[in-house]
Structure 1
Amino acid sequence: MSVTEKLNGYGPLAGIKVVEVCTYVAAPATVRVLSEMGAEIIKVESFAGDTQRTQGPGFGCELTETEDPTIDLNNTNKNWVSLNLKTEEGLTILKKLIADADVFMNNMRTGALEKLGLDYPTLSKEFPNLIWAQMRGYGEFGEFAHSPGYDAVCWAARGGVSGTFPEKDTAPAIPPQAFGDYNAAIMMAAGILGALVNKLRTGRGDKVVVNLYHAAIWAGGIGLVAQQFGADYPKSRKSVPNPFNNTYKTADNKWLYICQPEYNRYYNDMMKIIGRDDLVDNPAYCTIETVKQNDSQHEVINILEDGFVHKELEEWLSILAEWQVPSQKVFRFTDILKDDEAYVNDALRKVEYNAFGEHAITTTPIRYANFGDPPMILSKPIGYHTAEYLHGLGYDDEQIDALEEQGVVKCWHGEDVPDVIFKSQRQAAGEAECKW
């Protein structure tokens, strides 16, 4: 049984079919977003599989033949077909799958697409109602149009993230792997949904393109505009424009982040909170205009540092909550993994592996009232659904065996991997309905 049948018509995209020829993160994660909206996903892999399948040992995860936590991150609720696209028959089978699809999603380089006849001009002529989507490292034009790209170089390095996030005069930041990929994936999913709406209105397909470099520039919009008005990046926390939007160390050596954008309105409150009533209405500090004019941000920051260092983090969080000051502990991933807020709102969901035990996995953040928390079925081995989809295209067992012997397709011949549907915490507790 395909994963799609198991989901029993779940989601706003039920009935929409997506064929994916994607590797690594940003493009497969885009399709994961669509899968958790209920679309039928046919992921077409080479015989070696998505190259993300090789990444587990680098993260300290020893893989098994049927379980791969690193591939699960980008590939829930998918059906798995394996074709040799270097063969004429392999391409023919892919074209048959695309012919019945709404979306063809890829992150192949343009030259390879043209060589295979999978480029937009070719496929749009053959299938005018097809939405053709490509995730790229850089844009379609200019010097880097045909360059390979990963989020580390396109998004983090050239996109300014590594250079603007760290404390001033320190080494460039190294964001967690694929941080930019997941941001770009949501943007691409939005683009595909827009094209789907237009297709429903007009019957016409379209070309949708997102690149990692542009995704970083969009996310850095405020900084890029501010830079043009003299706000240089990276910044030192000692000279941020608004001292009430900054990090401060507490007595127990933890970091507190406060964000109070209206400096003038809340200046007196902040002075009272840290026990500096003597500075209430102080003309040197009470307006952000004066602070900026005198370049005295560091003086206000020193005052706040001297105040926050006298109490422990939890006490400050309680005090700041009473004063309705937006604030949080500066979390690390170890904190998030223990945070009930992440589980009760289904940002993290517990799954059970035979080989690895219980682990948390991220979910896509979009929720619909009519459908609730999405079902989650983990990934499958290479070629797990190949025979099933070939049967659907009219091939019989003898023909499938012949294709496999000829090196055209790869089918899974190992043990069955059950379609276990993992529920959200609230669903598992009976506090939320499973609408699938």
Structure 2
Amino acid sequence: MSGALEGIRIIDASRVLAGPFCTMILGDLGAEVIKVEHHLAGDETRGWGPPFAKGESAYYLCANRNKQSMTLNLKTEEGRNIFKQLVESGDVVVQNFKTGTMDKMGLGYEVLKEINPKVIVASITGFGSDGPYKNLPGYDYIIQAMSGLMSITGEAEGSPMKVGIAIADVLTGLYTCIGILSALQHRHQTGEGQEIDISLMDCQIASLINVASNYLVGGMQPKRLGNQHPNIAPYQVFPVSDGEMVIAVGNDEQFKRFAAVIGQPELAMDEKYKSNQLRVENKDTLVPSCEWALKQRTKIEWKALLDEASIPNGPINSIPEMFADPQVNAREMVVKMEHPLIDDLQLTGSPIKLSKSPVTMRTHPPLYGEHTDKILENYGFTTDEIVKLRTKQII
């Protein structure tokens, strides 16, 4: 079975996480991805560690499978001309240079669309192509701070906290992927390419969902709630006799069952707790009653009882515990790949399960410049010409 994006060629001039994460998804879906890296250093994440496996950083490996790597000096005319050749036969360009950098190099959208009117150019920046911050560099940590995300993350009386992963980068990668797929559909209908302007700041703000809406609609100043929910109760971390677990009671019927399971059916009859709105308003008295009851049993005991009653719940797993979970293994969320240096390379699997055109793990995250010669040969360069390009530090 062929991938859903087989026949689509992606020219990936991005690095670090948001862009490479996006292009890896497109590669998983069957697209050909040519990763264009700096001719002297390559993607910065190649040096981000430890850990390293045979010199390859775990950070780089997480976002670069199903790609070919070539090196190219875009500050030279010859390097830019090679890039234009790639674009001429490509479908999508993904880049995350600072705003205006591609234009300064003579590789902006207006130039590239003259070379290939059908090309789609996805430009990822910290703050977008316009506005007072357009020229500022964008880093995930800064975006988490400026977007308001950190102000609502952490314990109520504690300091603002960042999320444990580069969530703004990940979300931006996903939004960029959606934009590219939409632009490909538009091109299918009209024959036209287009430019996609994606910023980390915009993506993180859009992802504030109900918290942003609470402020815009109700004027509510969001507060840090730790592991509680601003709109639902009880919906949080609870201590049990041997640790902690999350219990998420999402509606009134679930609350009735929950109250019965924990041996306090009278809570469901109490006028203060009969609706979710009332439970949120009276959380200060509801939560202690639940905590007392839940401390009487273990995580395993409560999970069995709550699962039987269809109450959403789960233990707080460590990363090793998560990867040992039978559900994770059943869903093939760990994949093994052959690699020229690493004997037993394991990577996180894809969450996209397509019945007719499944994702495939075809090629390992490429070594730095691994495919430079092969790619240039495919574009008609001779061995002697490639040697000269390398001597002149074009590649």
Query: 1 CA distance for matches of 2:373 and 2:277?
Result: 69
Structure 1 residues 239, 376: CA separation in 2 closer, same or farther (over 3 Å shift)?
Answer: closer
1:226 aligns with 2:214: yes
* TM superposition shift of 1:93: 0.7
Partner residue, 2:60: 71
The residue correspondences of 1:280-319 to structure 2 (distance < 5 A) are 280-291=268-279, 295-319=281-305
SS at match of 1:172: coil
1:193 aligns with 2:193: no
Structure 1 residues 359, 300: CA separation in 2 closer, same or farther (over 3 Å shift)?
Answer: farther
Partner residue, 1:110: 99
User: Sequence identity, in percent?
Assistant: 24
Partner residue, 1:205: 193
1:20 aligns with 2:8: no
Query: 2 CA distance for matches of 1:183 and 1:313?
Result: 32
Query: 2 CA distance for matches of 1:289 and 1:49?
Result: 53
* TM superposition shift of 1:241: 4.4
* TM superposition shift of 1:267: 3.6
User: TM-score scaled by structure 2?
Assistant: 0.92
Query: 1 CA distance for matches of 2:149 and 2:197?
Result: 22
* TM superposition shift of 1:222: 0.4
Query: 2 CA distance for matches of 1:307 and 1:356?
Result: 50
Partner residue, 1:250: 240
* TM superposition shift of 1:338: 1.9
* TM superposition shift of 1:278: 4.3
SS at match of 1:200: helix
Query: 1 CA distance for matches of 2:203 and 2:189?
Result: 28
Structure 1 residues 84, 375: CA separation in 2 closer, same or farther (over 3 Å shift)?
Answer: same
SS at match of 1:324: coil
The answer to whether the 8 A contact 1:23-1:51 is kept is: yes
The answer to whether the 8 A contact 1:248-1:308 is kept is: yes
**Deviations along 1:159-201, whole A, 9 cap, x unmatched?**
2222212121112223234232122211111110111111122
The answer to whether the 8 A contact 2:229-2:236 is kept is: no
Structure 1 residues 183, 148: CA separation in 2 closer, same or farther (over 3 Å shift)?
Answer: same
State the one-letter code of the partner of 1:268: K
Query: 1 CA distance for matches of 2:267 and 2:191?
Result: 66
1:268 aligns with 2:256: yes
SS at match of 1:142: coil
* TM superposition shift of 1:221: 1.4
Partner residue, 1:176: 164
Structure 1 residues 351, 310: CA separation in 2 closer, same or farther (over 3 Å shift)?
Answer: farther
Query: 2 CA distance for matches of 1:123 and 1:53?
Result: 29
Of residues 46-55 and 280-289 in structure 1, the stretch that sits farther from structure 2 once superposed is: 280-289
1:235 aligns with 2:228: no
* TM superposition shift of 1:360: 3.7
SS at match of 2:36: strand
Pairing partner for 1:369 from 344, 355, 360? 355
Structure 1 residues 237, 30: CA separation in 2 closer, same or farther (over 3 Å shift)?
Answer: closer
Query: 2 CA distance for matches of 1:63 and 1:94?
Result: 31
The answer to whether the 8 A contact 2:248-2:312 is kept is: yes
Partner residue, 1:135: 124
Partner residue, 1:81: 70
1:62 aligns with 2:52: yes
Query: 2 CA distance for matches of 1:208 and 1:245?
Result: 38
User: TM-score scaled by structure 1?
Assistant: 0.84
Structure 1 residues 118, 250: CA separation in 2 closer, same or farther (over 3 Å shift)?
Answer: same
Pairing partner for 1:10 from 2, 9, 12? 2
Structure 1 residues 239, 23: CA separation in 2 closer, same or farther (over 3 Å shift)?
Answer: closer
Query: 2 CA distance for matches of 1:303 and 1:239?
Result: 17
1:346 aligns with 2:332: yes
Partner residue, 1:49: 42
* TM superposition shift of 1:356: 6.2
Query: 2 CA distance for matches of 1:194 and 1:273?
Result: 47
* TM superposition shift of 1:353: 6.3
State the one-letter code of the partner of 1:404: R
Structure 1 residues 104, 241: CA separation in 2 closer, same or farther (over 3 Å shift)?
Answer: closer
Of residues 94-103 and 358-367 in structure 1, the stretch that sits farther from structure 2 once superposed is: 358-367
Query: 1 CA distance for matches of 2:342 and 2:68?
Result: 23
Pairing partner for 1:322 from 308, 318, 322? 308
The answer to whether the 8 A contact 2:99-2:134 is kept is: no
The answer to whether the 8 A contact 1:346-1:373 is kept is: no
1:390 aligns with 2:376: yes
Pairing partner for 1:119 from 84, 104, 108? 108
State the one-letter code of the partner of 2:81: T
SS at match of 1:110: coil
SS at match of 2:269: coil
Unmatched runs of 5 consecutive residues or more in structure 1: 1-8, 410-436
Partner residue, 2:136: 147
The answer to whether the 8 A contact 1:162-1:174 is kept is: yes
